């Protein structure tokens, strides 16, 4: 039986989740424009926004919190872990 952690799609999914998590953490801090961290945050936003944006159409904000990010994160986690575990036998 193959290990799920060695499957390339699992690895890509986990890397993408890490990118989303880094984007969320960096959004909590004021970052000076033009700094290397600013460029990294911009790159993370460009890489993750295409997945998060469709969730914003269907998930309204709760007060000042945008929970579409959390829903997208959970969906990717479930797809990466559970669904892929059904495929890898």
At 16 the pLDDT is: 95
pLDDT at 88: 66
Q: Which residues contact 21 (CB under 8 A, 6 or more apart)?
A: 73
> Once rounded to an integer, what is the mean pLDDT over residues 36-47?
93
What pLDDT is recorded for position 2? 63
Q: How far apart are CA 55 and CA 53, in angstroms?
A: 5
Give the contacts of 68 (CB within 8 A, at least 6 positions apart). Answer: 52, 55, 56, 58, 59, 61
Coil, strand, or helix at residue 38?
helix
Query: Mind listing the pLDDT tens digit for each residue in 13-34?
Result: 899 999 999 999 998 889 888 8
| CA angle at 33 for the pair 14 and 16, rounded to the nearest 5° | 5
* Residue 5: band (very low, low, confident or very high) from pLDDT cuts 50, 70, 90: low
Contacts for 12 with CB less than 8 Å, ≥ 6 apart:
none
- DSSP letter for 9, please: H
């Amino acid at each position: 039986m193959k290990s799920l952690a060695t499957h390339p799609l699992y690895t890509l999914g986990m890397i993408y989740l890490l990118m989303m998590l880094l984007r969320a953490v960096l959004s909590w801090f004021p970052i000076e424009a033009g700094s290397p961290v600013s460029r990294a945050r911009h790159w993370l936003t460009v890489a993750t926004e295409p997945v998060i944006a469709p969730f914003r159409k269907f998930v309204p904000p709760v007060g000042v919190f945008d929970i579409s990010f959390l829903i997208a994160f959970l969906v990717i986690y479930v797809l990466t872990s559970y669904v892929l575990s059904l495929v890898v036998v």
